[in-house]
Amino acid sequence: MHLVAEGGLNPAGIEAVVRERLKTYTEVSPDHVIFEDDEAALDTRLFAKNGIKAEYLVDRRRNHI
């Protein structure tokens, strides 16, 4: 899972909450949680796969954890 954290937020705390909530609601958890520095670059990578039919969930809520 690739995430972009808002400045000033603790990545370790975010990772713990994300892992806990995913496990609670879906009974699975990500193998890796990777924090990206550049949100625009992450969006470009996610949506660059033109030939593949896929949906990506991009959550843009601020401080929802």
The label of the residue with tokens 């990206």 reads 36
Residue 4 in tokens: 């972009």
> What is d(CA 15, CA 40) in angstroms, rounded to the nearest whole number?
21
Task: Give all strands (DSSP E) within the chain, no chain letters.
Answer: 2-3, 34-35
Predicted local confidence at residue 39, as pLDDT: 87
Q: Is residue 38 part of a domain?
A: yes
Q: How many domains does the chain have?
A: 1
Q: Is residue 64 part of a domain?
A: no
Q: Is residue 52 part of a domain?
A: no
Q: In which domain, by residue range, is 13 found?
A: 2-47
Q: What does pLDDT average to in each consecutive run of 10 residues of the chain (65 residues)?
A: 87 93 91 91 77 54 61
Predicted local confidence at residue 8, as pLDDT: 85
Are 6 and 62 spatial neighbours (Cβ–Cβ below 8 Å)? Answer: yes
